[in-house]
Amino acid sequence: MIDHMSIQCGDVSASVAFYDRVLEPLGCTRVMEFDEVIAYGTDHPAFWLGPLVSGEPNREVHIAFAAPDRDAVRAFFDAAIALGAPMLHEPREWPEYHDQYFGAFVRDPDGNNVEAVCHWG
């Protein structure tokens, strides 16, 4: 349903360092860069980072990245924790969503709730 999304970052360099590491296990890499704008994806720019331009602090957003399997969810989580990201929820099943939902949640450098999720066993 969503083609792409963009978030503003208080410190683009810190966010790029974070997303470079945590998106790698999910098969996403930088696919475009110009000025302080960075785009990640697999075959097209799908997730964009840019500088804070609104003059106000961001409100928390929730971003869920699709993972190819449960090991990728764990690798995403491990990479985030190794970078010092605050943990929200360790990798586990979430049967309240559905019986195959497996996800992990952390905070990015701007305090956003970032998740990796796999929808099958």
- Is the pLDDT score of 1 beyond 70? no
pLDDT band at 68 (very low <50, low <70, confident <90, very high): very high
pLDDT digits (tens, 9 = 90+) for 12-40: 999 999 999 999 999 999 999 999 999 99
H/E stretch holding 39: strand 37-41
Residue written as token pair 């409100």: 59
DSSP calls for 65-110: EE-SSHHHHHHHHHHHHHTTPPEEEEEEE-TTT-TT-EEEEEE-TT
The CATH architecture to which 5-52+60-118 belongs is: Roll (3.10)
For the chain, the structural domain boundaries read: 5-52+60-118
Q: What pLDDT, on a 0 to 100 scale, did the predictor assign at position 56? A: 75
The predicted model scores a pTM of 0.92
> What is the rounded average pLDDT of the residues 43-72?
90
